[in-house]
């Protein structure tokens, strides 16, 4: 029996024009496109952006402006800044989205599982008890339970209060 799961929001990714160069550098270098790219926040060190193909609602990444694939070569001040934002991001996900927990991680290099290996990035993935179901476990398919744009706008609205 063949099952079909429609995901029309992925059509832009599959059929759309591909960015030249590093996707994260493109976002970093084009602050006028922050709304289009779903950037939550940016400063002189890094930016926070929603993951376009999230594991769960509210999944975002913290990405340094500096293009590198090597965490060990990142300026320590930038790394400390990223981790400080991660602490605030965890609190925001728990308080504003009601996440029961948060997975934080980096996949370094293709062998480490990085989908975009050329530019390091830190994932923050909100989790809820019982957020895994049969379709995730058996069909290797994710179900996104809410509107991506709505979550982006909510996080963008509440984030400033977590940066204080």
Domain annotation covers residue 3: no
Residue 121 a catalytic site member = yes
Output the CA torsion sign for 35, 160, 50, 65.
positive
Residue 104's DSSP bridge partners are 124
Q: Give the CATH number, domain containing residue 108.
A: 3.30.428.10
Number of domains in the chain: 1
Domain range spanning residue 132?
A: 8-162
Among candidate residues 38, 119, 121, 123, the one labeled active-site is 121
pLDDT digits (tens, 9 = 90+) for 143-164: 556 688 888 888 988 888 888 7
Domain annotation covers residue 59: yes
Nearest to 131 by CA among 78, 57, 76: 57
Domain annotation covers residue 88: yes
pLDDT digits (tens, 9 = 90+) for 121-146: 999 999 988 776 544 544 455 555 66
Question: Considering the chain, what is the average pLDDT of its residues?
Answer: 85
């Amino acid at each position: 029996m063949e099952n079909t799961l429609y995901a029309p929001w992925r059509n832009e990714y599959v059929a759309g024009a591909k960015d030249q160069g590093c996707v994260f550098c493109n976002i970093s270098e084009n602050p006028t496109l922050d709304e289009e790219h779903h950037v939550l926040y940016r400063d002189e060190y890094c930016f926070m952006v929603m993951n376009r193909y999230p594991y769960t609602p509210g999944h975002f990444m913290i990405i340094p402006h500096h293009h590198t694939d090597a965490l060990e070569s990142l300026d320590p001040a930038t790394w400390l800044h990223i981790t400080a934002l991660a602490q605030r991001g965890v609190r925001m996900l728990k308080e504003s989205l009601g996440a029961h927990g948060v997975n934080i991680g980096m996949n370094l290099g293709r062998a480490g599982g990085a989908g975009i290996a050329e530019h390091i990035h830190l994932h923050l993935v909100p989790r809820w008890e019982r957020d895994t179901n049969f379709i995730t476990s058996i069909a290797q398919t994710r179900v996104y339970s809410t509107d991506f744009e709505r979550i982006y706008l909510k996080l963008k609205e509440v984030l400033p209060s977590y940066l204080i």
